[in-house]
Structure 1
Amino acid sequence: MNDPVSAPAHRPAVDAVSGPRARPVGDPVRAWRRLVDTAVLLDGFHTLKHAVRFGAEVPVAVTVDRAAALALADDLAPDVRDRLADLLHEVPEETYRTLVARPHPTAVAALAVRPSRAAHLATLARTPRTTPIVVLDNPRNLGNAGAVIRLAAGFGATGVVTTGTLDPWHPTVVRGGAGLHFATAVERLGVADLPPGPLFALDPEGDDIRGLKLPDDAVLAFGSERSGLSTELRSRADHLLSLPMRPQVSSYNLATSVAMTLYHWSAGSF
């Protein structure tokens, strides 16, 4: 997937001690406390990097060590290095620890504006599609949901939809997805409101996936880690599919199942 945002051609002014200076935006701590209840928490350097790379609006970003964060950017994200230099404000470690519940090893955190739900729903409903939509039916594990969003973004999926009570924009999910929520459409919907397209649901009793080519407009549904597909979603499925698995092995991890299915789709799309 090509990055939609390129780095600006200029470099900001340089401070002899700390490197490029951040653009003054007032008190970052005060801004954080004003926005935190409605914004998306970007926890860690890589989460912020991906969010910025894919066009997130980031009103405030902080770090304990700005020079170290920009050195990471030089090594790992030169395409967004200048934008990070504009955004990052250094704060004392004690202050940083009051802003985030689980301090990240990179000591970087930011707040982003959540993308428009209406825009995401329009993206999910649009046909024809050239890439599938992933549906997590009543998922339970926040980290697993984040890993699936990261996978879906990597494969260029149109979006990820969750059903049930789990919030796909929960901070732990965003952290698990490494900020790649901003690279695809992520929303929570009821089963009755799933996007259009042929619905393929993964189930141990379904047909072997190796015997079928998945269409580009497929809606790929995966059951919860504990109880599998809900009765409501199973009744709506156009096809039940199973992944190859050795006898007596109980199941695959949710993210592994999604990865195998998306790979099967991608291998058949050429």
Structure 2
Amino acid sequence: MTDPAPEPLSTWRRLAEGAVLLDGFHALKHAVRFGAEVPVAVTADRRAALALADELASDVRETLTALLTEVPESTYRSLVPRPHPTAVAALAVRPSREANLRKLARTPRATPVVVLDNPRNLGNAGAVIRLAAGFGATGVVTTGTLDPWHPTVVRGGAGLHFATAVERVSVEELPPGPLFALDPEGDDVRGIKLPDDAVLAFGSERSGLSAGLRARADHLVALPMRPQVSSYNLATSVAMTLYHWSLTGFQSPTSDSRRPSGDGP
């Protein structure tokens, strides 16, 4: 193939520092599907990428056709820290923090907000955002030092940061709503109805809830767990809790041609 016009690469280099890296076809697909502004997208194999669009994302195929520029594989690899098997990458504009905070603060809410209290594992944070988007949660907020828009988190979330409000806040800045914090000493969640406007807080993988968040909780709830088992993975805990909420409060989002699972990471 011939070298591409230099414009997409110059755009990439100009925007890379402040943009969100969409790492792989599925991240790009979800970002486009949920309205992200994507100024540049590249692939080492445009034909294969568009074949994936035909198979998995016909609703955004036309947009991807216009967006994707083919570049040599060596160029693609130079743009990303860890090449994705689909050989696709893009840059997106991060949503406004102010707009996300307004969305999180708006009441009444139809779906919960998930709080990750001082999380440590980037991959787990990404998996939680993917879960929350799938359940139609209002948003995911983190406390502590982990950046929920870190490229590894976005990769783990498959680009679904653009389907829900994702921000880092302090405990004092948590969105309004009854705060249900997951804690081994809490009441069994199976006996509790989680309201649609709940704020669902989960402690870190290693140390659990921080003292500040635990003190602010309106309710402590616990997931059922066999004795002598130490804990669940963070994403598993969030999935179990959102599923419990969904049994009574969940309104399924309209699906169009969106696939809830099975279309890759």
Same fold (TM over 0.5): yes
Hey, what does 1:143 align to over in structure 2?
Answer: 123
Partner amino acid, structure 2, of 1:167 = D
1:190 to 170, 187, 194: 170
- Cα distance in 2, alignment partners of residues 119 and 210 from structure 1: 35
Task: Determine what percentage of the aligned residue pairs are the same residue.
Answer: 83
Q: How does 1:1-270 map to 2 (within 5 A)?
A: 27-269=7-249
- Cα distance in 2, alignment partners of residues 262 and 197 from structure 1: 16
Q: Which moved more, 1:25-34 or 1:214-223?
A: 25-34
Partner amino acid, structure 2, of 1:268 = T
Describe the SS at the equivalent of 2:69: strand
Deviation sequence 1:203-234 (CA, Å, 0-9, x none): 01100001100000000000000000000000
- Cα distance in 2, alignment partners of residues 94 and 196 from structure 1: 48
Partner amino acid, structure 2, of 1:96 = Y
What's the CA shift for 1:29?
A: 1.0
- Cα distance in 1, alignment partners of residues 114 and 11 from structure 2: 35
- Cα distance in 2, alignment partners of residues 92 and 39 from structure 1: 22
Describe the SS at the equivalent of 1:213: coil
- Cα distance in 1, alignment partners of residues 90 and 193 from structure 2: 41
Partner amino acid, structure 2, of 1:240 = L
- Cα distance in 1, alignment partners of residues 141 and 74 from structure 2: 37
- Cα distance in 1, alignment partners of residues 217 and 202 from structure 2: 11
TM-score, with structure 1 as normaliser: 0.90
What's the CA shift for 1:28?
A: 1.0
Deviation sequence 1:105-127 (CA, Å, 0-9, x none): 00000000000111000000000
- Cα distance in 2, alignment partners of residues 212 and 155 from structure 1: 19
What's the CA shift for 1:269?
A: 1.7
Describe the SS at the equivalent of 1:47: helix
Q: Specify every segment of 5 or more residues in structure 1 that has no aligned partner in the other structure, as ranges.
A: 1-16, 18-23
**After the TM superposition, which segments of 4 or more aligned residues of structure 1 sit over 4 Å from their partners?**
none
- Cα distance in 2, alignment partners of residues 70 and 216 from structure 1: 39
What's the CA shift for 1:34?
A: 0.5
What's the CA shift for 1:30?
A: 1.0
Describe the SS at the equivalent of 2:82: coil
Deviation sequence 1:128-155 (CA, Å, 0-9, x none): 0010000000000000000000000000
Superposition CA RMSD, Å: 1.2
What's the CA shift for 1:36?
A: 0.3
TM-score, with structure 2 as normaliser: 0.92
What's the CA shift for 1:50?
A: 0.1
What's the CA shift for 1:26?
A: 5.9
What's the CA shift for 1:168?
A: 0.2
- Cα distance in 1, alignment partners of residues 192 and 52 from structure 2: 43
